[in-house]
Amino acid sequence: MPTLGAIADDFTGATDLATMLVARGFRTVVAVGPDALETSPSGAGHPALADADAVVVALKSRTAPVEEAVGLSLRALGGLRALGCTRFYFKYCSTFDSTPRGNIGPVTDALLDALGADRTVVVPSFPATGRTVYRGRLFVHDDLLDESPMRHHPLTPMRDSRVDRLLEPQTGRPVSRIGLETVRAGEDALRAALDDPARAGALTVVDAVDDRDLAVIAGATGELPLVTGAAGLAVGLVGPHPGEARARPASRPGDPGVVLAGSASAATRAQVAHALGRLPHRRLDPAALRTDFDATVTGLTGFVRDCWRTDPGRPPLIYTVAAPEDVEARTPDGAEPAAALVERALARCAAALVDAGARRLLVAGGETSGAVVTALRARTLGIGAPIAPGVAWATTEASPTGRPVTLDLALKSGNFGGTDIFTQAWEQLV
């Protein structure tokens, strides 16, 4: 029976956290949406959930309307409590992707209310991926958040680096900060600071610049019913199965694979650029999709199948953006936004390619990953071999056309992974 339950606001965030938990000795399963937690009419739950130490619910709520995000999160919390979870973790992006309305603040408030808890911590730091918080300011490597590429994000542009200032408009609770000097004084000092009556009911932003800081925070918050943060906070957790938690690959060397890259982030663009000279590739053009969606998708899937026959050793790459000029400059009046159009097309490609024999898929982009997993009708992901910080292979049973197949699936946040991830990830499937 799982004891740790987590709620992630997008699909790559869910696998990001699950990867960390596996490394810390938790047998971890990602449940795809709240429905995956529900028991069958016979009363039997999914066996993978019963065998887990930790369950992470993957939601597509990061940019959803506030009311929808809160409702999905509360449904996930109810399902996790029904499974037996007693501690909870709300996972959001390490770049604190949000808007002045939410959704980080409203979801945190709702989870605290549902649990009858009066306080929690806010810890977006993830040093392994270059995200740190110092004096309440969020850094992306050497840049302040509002000076990083995140300031131009199309959905959640981040134009302030002060986490407390980002959070205050989103919550009805007080927001406080605890500096690095208190964290470095150790668990007892941090616990005393968090227990200060002046912080009753507060959301407290805690500085952390390396993994030792995260371990102190995890130790000091062990009695809190709910913690919130990026996947980095899991660094300080200790699971019951060190070295035994990883799922085995479902596919075999030589099985057909494909890379589907829907992200326009700077990191993914660099990964695409690296792969263009090494993998067979085809760009997904929004203009072509607008002209004839079905024919464009059919052409892309046909290209991939041809590559499997003629060059089986290299997984083909379908991508949308290799350079900033590839981003559609303007959506035609009344037309579907390019991001949604691309997600829908890549999801259709994924379903068709799995039906055609794909057993290894690497997907780049949080929103794209959510669309792909939904199209594949996957319900749970068993976390396997790590590829990069925050990225791992997972085994899943998919049934895009009603015929169940088991495959390996990697969901990569747009900003994560090394430049060579599209060519090197496959080496971990052994």
Which of 82, 95, 33, 79 is closest to 59 using CA atoms? Answer: 33
Helix then strand then coil, % of the chain, to nearest 5 = 40, 20, 35
Identify the H or E element spanning 394: strand 391-398
Q: Other C-beta atoms within 10 Å of 106: how many?
A: 19
Burial of 362 (0-12, 13-18, 19+ CB in 10 A): buried
Q: Which residue has the higher pLDDT, 50 or 129?
A: 129
- Given a cut of 50, whether residue 277 has pLDDT beyond it is yes
CA 132 to chain centre: 18
Tell me the CA distances in angstroms from 222 to 28, 49, 187, 251, 375, one per residue in order. 19, 23, 10, 38, 37
- Per-residue pLDDT band at 269 (split at 50, 70, 90): very high
Contact 58, 78 (CB under 8 A): no
Please report the pLDDT score of residue 241 as a whole number.
Answer: 85
pTM: 0.84
Yes or no: say if 386 and 392 are a contact pair by the CB < 8 Å rule.
Answer: yes
Whether residue 41 has pLDDT greater than 50:
no
Instruction: Please check the confidence at residue 221 and state whether its pLDDT lies above 60.
Output: yes
| Torsion of the alpha carbons at 249, 50, 237 and 95, rounded to the nearest 10 | 70
Q: Is the pLDDT of residue 184 over 60?
A: yes
Report how far residue 362's alpha carbon sits from residue 121's, in angstroms, rounded to the nearest whole number: 33
So what's the pLDDT on residue 78?
97
Residue with tokens 């699971």: 239
- Whether 74 shows a pLDDT value over 90: the answer reads yes
Please state, in angstroms and rounded to a whole number, the distance separating the CA atoms of residues 359 and 349.
14
Q: Which tokens belong to 249?
A: 């690959």
- CA R_g for the chain: 21
Highest mean pLDDT among 104-108, 197-201, 323-327, 393-397: 104-108
In DSSP terms, which residues pair with 405 in a beta bridge?
398
Higher pLDDT, 41 or 378: 378
